[in-house]
Amino acid sequence: MKMRTDIPIILILFIILTGSAIAADISTILSSISGKYDIVWAYNASDIKDPWKKYIPGAPDTVNDLKTMLPGAGYWISINSQSAVLTINGTMLDSLEIPVYTGWNLVGYPLTQSKGISTTLSSISGKYDIVWAYNTSDTKDPWKRYAPGAVDNDLTYMTPGNGYWIKMNQDAALVI
């Protein structure tokens, strides 16, 4: 899978694995853009005291508390080069169960085809309040929103390779 990275910050997910659905070393996964990004951020809603995790290439372990990438998780990557092309090799997942917790969760979309957002989130229907996505190609209005029942939603599909912020009103399992 190749992802466009000619924008300063990208919100992505990690959906491609080699082997079973386990964590993979972050520097290995991002090796195709080595030297072309400054920092990677992840948000772990289950870590109430310190939900933000970061990885800075070359920084000591005491600074980096993000060491692996997980399937179904979302990541912010600050790109410092217009020539960066993120290539990840492995096997695409057919489905995935992602634990989501009360409050904000940064999750990825692991399927190869776009799907309507309400259908995709049916396993957590009634358990979330709002979903946000960041669309870098829309420079005037990059933030897209979906709120169940709202008439002015501009986020209607979940698409491969994208990450999403979901605000949960209770703990649940998102099955995609």
**Do the beta carbons of residue 151 and residue 99 sit within 8 Å?**
no
List the one residue out of 43, 30, 101 whose CA is nearest residue 74: 43
Full-model pTM: 0.76
Taking only the tens of pLDDT, the chain with its 176 residues reads: 444 444 444 555 444 443 445 668 899 888 888 998 999 999 988 898 999 999 999 999 999 999 988 877 888 888 887 777 777 776 666 778 889 999 999 988 877 789 999 999 999 999 999 999 988 778 899 899 999 999 999 999 998 878 899 999 999 999 98
- Sign, CA dihedral 149-150-152-154, equals negative
Domain ranges in the chain are 2-87, 91-175
**Do the beta carbons of residue 60 and residue 40 sit within 8 Å?**
no
